[in-house]
Structure 1
């Protein structure tokens, strides 16, 4: 006597497998998405740490060279110190307004400082280049300066206008560095 049973999956078995796969996908996709954001935040932290360390090393070099007013032999190019010995300008002496004794910065100085002090593969642009906005950006870092002569560096890859971006502020007159997360306007 021959047993002629069809072998294969029943409809119920297929539905159960599909439901299990759907549940796994729903649970796994957000987890993988957060890994990508965590990787971007870690890259921003590493880039900002590199800049912070470079500023501190520059200041240490300034102190060991006897607090010169001119170029300090550190980084790429001629980097000039502020009165307190922190990097303030590249390839030209800092500008000192006649009404003050403290040098001032311009936005281009912030971009030049980043490039002269750090050796990363990150791309950087001044905020006014291109659209004039922080986002959307085709570079990794967008930089400019605030009204109180403070450079800022937004880390922009894969961030949207609705999100808070990692940002580093640098005040060359005092060497103060602070890292935070802030929103960027598209206007």
Structure 2
């Protein structure tokens, strides 16, 4: 199920970004207000799915090129929760509130080496300057949490979950977790 959601989210975001770029490039009016209006209309279209799901964009570049500086506030049963910076960029890449990660369950927390993680109903996104932002979910997430998460020997994820023969794999700064034939194995470096 996660594969379908990830592919759908990636396709939707790619099409929205292409529409934004196409609309901005095709604007024949040199007036800045008209150009800004055209770009804003395309950006609104690109982020419409997130906004329809209760997200409120503020300060983000909707094309995703500079999303590391933005913030989104998402209405949840526990109140409004912010997703920002590198976590927001990855969250949007994964489909935002309508994607497989779903809504945030709490605010982001600081991790070692200046990094951060944020929990969502469908998994977690963790970021550090050395690793960038990656998603951890499912059985691999359970094993990672069981080994201390970012504060354990495995540390930050360095890849998103990827397909391998008969299963999945995620790499971390301190090792690898595989899920093959419904069995999880952890290999530390």
Please give the TM-score of this superposition, normalised by the length of structure 1. 0.40
Please give the TM-score of this superposition, normalised by the length of structure 2. 0.40
Q: Which has the larger radius of gyration?
A: 1
In terms of fraction of residues, the more helix-rich structure is: 2
